[in-house]
Amino acid sequence: MDRKEFLKKCGFACLGGSTMMALLQSCASSNYFAKTILSNNQIIIPKSEFLEIKNNQTISRKYVLIKNAKFSFPIVVYSIAENVYSALLMECTHKGCELQAAGIYLVCPCHGSEFTNLGIVQNPPAEENLKTFEITTDHENIYLHI
């Protein structure tokens, strides 16, 4: 490979990297911390927290995040299907880094483990699945039992 070809390839690699960073930042900014109510060892999330109005259109969020003083990591609540949810503690089971939600996966920034939206390990080095929370629902709310 000559010098010109090398520089051309490096230029495309840099462009690809900056595009990827912009894409990741836009994903990160889509994280939404839901408004919740704490009552009798339950975190109550109105189902309306999964709806977002953008440009006069109602869009469904795939997940919302929750912060609770009882846990040092956020909890992510995924909407899996109509009236089916999963709630996962965002603590990596490898060495305890905080996971990042990336669509329907959770990714660890420390060593690259990946988990599904049900908390199941997809990629090592983590070997154990994530901590999950029991969930019940009614027509208005989601109840996380903590």
Residues at the contact surface with ligand FES, assessed by CB under 6 A: 92, 94-95, 97, 108, 110-113, 125-126
Measured from the CB atom, the residue of 45 and 106 that comes closer to ligand FES is 106
- Distances in Å between the Cα of 18 and the Cα atoms of 24, 83, 92, 100, 109 are 10, 38, 27, 19, 18
Degrees, nearest 5: CA angle 117-120-122: 95
Measured from the CB atom, the residue of 9 and 111 that comes closer to ligand FES is 111
Measured from the CB atom, the residue of 44 and 97 that comes closer to ligand FES is 97
Considering the complex, what minimum distance in angstroms separates the CB of residue 105 from ligand FES? 13
Residue 74 tokens, joined: 């956020």
Which residue do the tokens 């520089």 mark?
7
Considering the complex, what minimum distance in angstroms separates the CB of residue 127 from ligand FES? 10
Considering the complex, what minimum distance in angstroms separates the CB of residue 130 from ligand FES? 11
Q: What is the dihedral of CA 38, 116, 20, 60, to 10 degrees?
A: -50
Considering the complex, what minimum distance in angstroms separates the CB of residue 49 from ligand FES? 27
